[in-house]
Structures are given as C-alpha cells and as structure tokens.
Structure 1
Amino acid sequence: MSADLVIVGAGVVGAASAYFAASAGLRVVVVERDSIAGGTSSAGEGNVLVSDKEAGPELDLALYSQQVWRADLAGHGDLWEFESKGGLVVAASEQGVASLRALAVQQRRCGVEVRDVARDELRDYEPHLAPQLAGGAFYPQDAQVQPMLVAAHLLRLARERGAQVRTRTEVTGFLRHGTRVTGVRTSAGDISAGAVLNAAGTWAGGVADLAGVRVPVLPRRGFILVTQPMPARTIRHKVYAAEYVGDVASSDAALQTSPVVEGTAGGTILIGASRERVGFDRNVSVPAIGTLAAKAIELFPMLRQVRAMRTYLGFRPYCPDHLPVVGADPRAPGLWHACGHEGAGIGLSAGTGKLIAQALVGERTDLDLAPFAPDRFPEAEEEPR
C-alpha cells in the first residue's frame, strides 16, 4: 500500500501529527507496534504547562501549543477532559521565592501569565497547603488533559479525515531509493510513502537507528502515586514545589524527586514526580515511591491520612539538551522526527503536530523549527540505554 505520510507511533504526538496532517489533506497511515497510547502517553499526568519552562525554544513551543489546544482544538476539549485549572508553584524559603520571582520576570517577557503569590495568600489558592511555606507563583495558563483520551480521539478524528491506523504493526526497516526514505517495512508488509514521521516516543532512537541516523532519545523513568478518591476540589490546582523546575532541566542520571500534587475529575489525587535514568527497568522502586509520598505530605499534611490505591511508572523520552526533535532529517531525506519531548510531550503535542503538518505541505511554519533540528547532535557514541 502507499500513503503520503507514514507515522510511526500512536501516542499523543503521533496522534496530533496524524490529525493535523489528515486535516491538511495528506493520506496518512499510522503504524504502532503495540496499542494506541500504549507507551509513555499512558503513564503521565497529562500536563499542559508553561510554568516549568525557562525562556527559550521549549517555552516558545509550549506557548504556541497553548494556542493550538485553546483555539484549533477547543471544540474537542471535552473529549479529553481539558481542564484549565492553573498551576501553583510554591517555595519553602525566601531564597526559593526570590528564584521564582526571577523566573517569572523572564517568562512574562515571553508572554506567560504569572501572578506573584505572597505567603499569606497561598491558602486562598489551596486551603490544605502546609502553613510554613514562604510564597509562590500562580500560572493561570497551566492545564491538564487525559492523555489516553487525547490519543484515542485525535486518531478517531484523523480516521474521519481518511487516515488509517494499524496497531500491532512493528516497523522493521525503511524503504530507500538511494539515500531517500520512501516508506517503511513492517511486520505486516511494506508501506511506501512520500514521508515517514518518527513519533515513537522513548523508542524513537531505535527507529532512527533503522534509518542509519542518530537521534539520542533515552528513557528517563518516573513514578506516580494515585490516592483514594477525595471530595471534589480538595486540591484545586496543579501544585508543585519550586525545585521541580530545576529537576526538569537537570541531566543527572540519579534519582530526583520533587512533589507535584493535583486532583482529578474522578476525585483521586495524583502525586509525582520522580526522574532517573535506569534504562527500561520496570521494577518498582520503593525508595522513589516513599520519597514522593513523604514530600507530598510536606506540602499537604492532610495527605498523611489518605490511602494510596496504586502506583504506575513510565519512561520519558529524554534528550541531552532537553529540547525535542522536530522536523525533517537532512541526513535521510524523506524522514521526519517528532520525538524527545521528555515530560512535556502531552502539552507540546498539539503544537508539534500542527507545525509538522505545516512543514509537510510546504507551508511556512508558525514557529521556527531550527532549534529542534534532528541533526543538531554531534555524531558521537550514544549513552547506554
């Protein structure tokens, strides 16, 4: 069979790319070796954040994605439980508050909405917060979605526009005409295409390897705790400690934990976030989970009386420079990438998908893709996975 575009991966980034590409009139085939949203997209909190990003290309992409979520996709928001709940970042010390204020100054220059929150105002936002916190910042643009619903519905909408979705279909190689990529070999047969998009998430490095190019996407494991259901609006916003911003930007392979706490529509409370580079090790880390629980209780002492129902883990697709890989790969003409978004992939997926579709049909993209170029990494040996 043939298509204009084959997308490898049916997570939220692949689904958003399929939706916008099909909406632009391209014949799209999505191939996924597992199930829809079967990888990282099923193991996150659904963050759509601007608060955790410093000025630079990733924040630019986050702000652009906000526009796409709230304008292009606004009519479908109920399908994936889009909730513009806002984010509250809190600091335990005056030094931490000063760092938040300095970050906010940079972010405001880029178009981020930030409200400084004094010590005595914190509990107006979150009545159950610990009283000893020194201050914070509120980000009304921060939002949340249910990522598995995003992937499922965007792919359904893409199919309504003519796209095909093939699950349990693994890419085993690439079709080539000289140096040009002209399609994929899969476990279910060959598919020829004018372009192939690598949206394989944490496994995108392996897909790139099949094409003979290096894209250094590595897994970064994280755990989330889920509590018993609580009364509605027990926790009103996404709440996290100021050190979370530093953990997001860190390249340290060792375990890092910083409390991120938020409620869901069903009443459960989600508690994150941990980060560590341990390859694809799926073993449960009791130290990581214990530390998450303890730090969440420091923020919300009432959680000491709340039972955790379960925990789950996932692997964020980590790039060494903390920027995603988005755009055409000049080393293998015909190959495109949309991967490496680490823990921001849910929020950045909407903007990424629209930009990829614009570039594929030859339009000028709304955002410069140069900072996300696939060939920006040195051709050195990749770190062990």
Structure 2
Amino acid sequence: MGQTSKVVVVGAGVVGAACAFHAASAGLDVTVVDRGPIGAGTTSRGEGNVLLSDKEPGPELDLARLSRTLWDEAGEELGADTLELEAKGGLVVASTPEALVALAEFAARQAEVGVRAEQVDRVHDLEPHLAPGIPGGVHYPEDAQVQPVLAAAALLRAAMERGARWRTGEVVGAVTGRNGEITGVRTTTGDTLSAEAVVNAAGTWGGEVGRRLGAPVEVLPRRGFVLVTEPLPPMVRHKVYSADYVANVASGDAGLETSCVVEGTRGGTILIGASRERVGFDTTMNPAVVTRLAAQACTLFPFLRDTHLIRAYRGFRPYCPDHLPVVGPDPRVPGLLHACGHEGAGIGLAPATGALVTAHLLGRSWRGADPAAHTGLLPDRFLTTGGALQ
C-alpha cells in the first residue's frame, strides 16, 4: 500500500495488539478501537499455543516459523517473564505403531522446510508420567507457550509507548471517499475515527466487521473447551498431545471433535483440551465434552485420575473454510486490510501477522515479513469471477 501513516486497528485481542505494536514501531500513527477490554474475546479463552508441530508445510507454517522468531524478539524487547513466554517444546505421541508411521511421515515433510522435528522412541525419557505402552512420538523443541492476555496487554502497552492510542467503542461502519476508499470508521459512541487504512483484527467477529466495512469475509466460530486442574507440582514438562490433534485442526466437520492436549502452566495448573464443534455462538456448557476431554487426558496421563478440576472455560475459534487466516489488503475496499480467521493458532501467529500487516501498510518488508512471500493468505483467494468473496 505504501507509507500509509494513519491506521485504525479494529480489535484489541492478541492479533490486533500485535498489529498495533508493529505498525507503531514502524512509525505509523495508530489508533486501536475495541468494544471491550484488552484480550476479552478469543484471546482470553486460549491456551497460549505457539506451535509449529501441528501445521502442514504451506502458507500457515511459513507464517508460524516467522512468528516463532518474532515471539523470541518480543520476549527480548518486552521481557519473557512479562509474556510468560516459555520455550517448553512439544511432544506429539502416537497410540499405535500405524499412527507412529503416519506421524513420522508428517514430521519428515515439516523437516524438509526447516522445522526441527526429532523422532522419539522412549517418550518416557521426556515425559515420565505418560501412560505405559505408547510406541513413540515426535519432539518439537521449537514449540512454545505464552500467557495470552498478558501478551496482548504487553504488546498494546508497548504500542502505546510508541505513540498508539486506545479507544473504546464498537465499529458500526466505514467512512469512504469518492472512489470508495476507506477514510475512517464510525463507532457506537458517535465518534468518527479518520484513517488512511483500517485493519480488521476483530477475531471471531471479523466476518461481521468486514461486512460493516463493505468487504465481508467468511470467518466462522468454532467452539472449544479447555479444562483447568488444581495446582500441582511440575508433572508435565512439554505441551503433549495425541497425533489425531493435527487431523482435527484441519477438519471441516461440523460435529464435535476432541483430541487430547495436556500441558502445565507456570502457576502449577494443568490445561486440558481440545474440542472443536460448529454451534454458532452458542456458549452453553456441555458436560459431555468436559467428560470426554477428561477421559482422554487420563488415558494419556493416568495420574490425572486423582486430580481435581477447578474449572472449565470455552470460547470461539475464528476460522475460514480453508483453515487459513486472511491477512492483507482487500481489493474491494481500498485501504481495508484483514487480519483474522486464525482459528486456534491466532496467539502463535500474532507477531508475524502484525509484521505482515505492517509490511503491507509500508509497501515493503518489515521485521522479516515480505508480502510477496505470503500471497496465499490474501483475501482475494476467495474472490469469485463476479468479484465477490465466497
């Protein structure tokens, strides 16, 4: 887009905060607007995954590899303790010899594009409390974790230290010029925020915000539950998940899918996921999902059978039909960029998304993000011959 200076970022989750941080760091005039508190949406419902291990080679893995580097840089700039950034590594385990063969083949494809993936025969050397009889797995030393809300707050605070502003309000429409270009947004508070560019980083509501700004994108909610145990001594060293997690992430099925993901936190609690189901924005607690997740976790780590759950929370992952985020300028409304649809990977992909959005705004590479290298994420991939997004 080239040296756009006045930018409005819609959304103060971790993706919006990362967009604001990078844009402000590049010297752009940034205003962040959200109808609620920082990180109150999907960001507050996530586990903080920074993963390479669950991604097939392609556009998302390319973005994830850049993001992994940028999370380390954010840790150096903002303080790893502030973000609760932990390079704990991931361990993907197979329950059968056949699943182990498939997992090894998947890891080999990732290794070909630069992901560090190490096949492990003695999984109990890495995780002593795993159930007996697991034939093996793959260790991903680059996998990491952050505390999502702390990370979003730190990125936004750093953006404000670089000159960004924060406004409360819900965006209800766009202000456009005579050629249809965006010149600002209108909010429920009656304000009009002028802008030369607007970034739609509204998470699960990205589709609705896009519609209000004249460029709808198909971002849909996918409900997920996470269980939290009582605090324990360190029992789980890595992010540990079963091999079928990868298939569930990529699935487009509407029905309930669960696959075991277990990890410890700095506070001693253990987080257990992950479920996915397409139920719209239904927030109903589903005890059957909680029961299934708990049973799967106990199968993987038997000591959990004697551990108390203290709560279960749920939220919505914003996903696109092709399971890739939408990042970049929308050709239908000059000046509008999307940064949404990350599904369950938004926390991990946030820094690279922010850098890539900033690169589009500047019209040049920024912090390792080159728009020419990430064309597979552009919104025009959904354009039909009639010029409308599918």
Superposition TM-score tier, normalisation by shorter sequence: over 0.9
- Gapped runs of 5+ residues in structure 2? none
* Aligned partners of 2:323 and 2:343 also within 8 Å: yes
Give the AA of the match of 2:173. Answer: G
In the alignment, which residue of structure 2 is the partner of 1:186? Answer: 187
In the alignment, which residue of structure 1 is the partner of 2:139? Answer: 138
Judging changes above 3 Å, is the alpha-carbon distance between structure 1 residues 378 and 334 closer, same or farther for their aligned structure 2 residues?
Answer: closer
State the identity %. Answer: 57
Question: 1:218-367 maps to which residues of 2 (within 5 A)?
Answer: 218-231=220-233, 233-364=234-365, 365-366=369-370
In the alignment, which residue of structure 1 is the partner of 2:175? Answer: 175
- Residue of 356, 379, 382 corresponding to 1:377: 382
Q: CA deviation at 1:281?
A: 0.3
State the 4+ residue runs in structure 1 displaced beyond 4 angstroms. Answer: 378-383
After superposition, what is the alpha-carbon deviation per residue over 1:188-223, rounded to whole angstroms, capped at 9, x for unaligned? Answer: 200110100000000000001112223100000000
Q: CA deviation at 1:11?
A: 0.2
Q: CA deviation at 1:28?
A: 0.3
Give the Cα separation in 2 of the matches to 1:184 and 1:320.
Answer: 27
Give the Cα separation in 1 of the matches to 2:374 and 2:31.
Answer: 24
Matched, 1:102 2:105: yes
After superposition, what is the alpha-carbon deviation per residue over 1:265-287, rounded to whole angstroms, capped at 9, x for unaligned? Answer: 00000000000000000000111
Give the Cα separation in 2 of the matches to 1:373 and 1:322.
Answer: 13
* Aligned partners of 1:86 and 1:238 also within 8 Å: yes
* Aligned partners of 1:41 and 1:147 also within 8 Å: yes
Question: 1:35-54 maps to which residues of 2 (within 5 A)?
Answer: 35-54=37-56
* Aligned partners of 2:95 and 2:134 also within 8 Å: yes
After superposition, what is the alpha-carbon deviation per residue over 1:230-254, rounded to whole angstroms, capped at 9, x for unaligned? Answer: 00x2110000000000000100110
Matched, 1:12 2:14: yes
- Residue of 88, 92, 96 corresponding to 1:93: 96
Give the Cα separation in 2 of the matches to 1:236 and 1:157.
Answer: 31
After TM superposition, the score normalised by the length of structure 2 is 0.94
After TM superposition, the score normalised by the length of structure 1 is 0.96
Q: CA deviation at 1:378?
A: 4.6
Partner SS for 1:253: coil
Give the Cα separation in 1 of the matches to 2:283 and 2:310.
Answer: 19
CA-based RMSD: 1.6
Partner SS for 2:55: coil
In the alignment, which residue of structure 2 is the partner of 1:23? Answer: 25
Mean CA deviation greater in 373-382 or 222-231: 373-382
* Aligned partners of 1:327 and 1:369 also within 8 Å: no
Partner SS for 1:126: coil
Give the Cα separation in 2 of the matches to 1:286 and 1:137.
Answer: 32
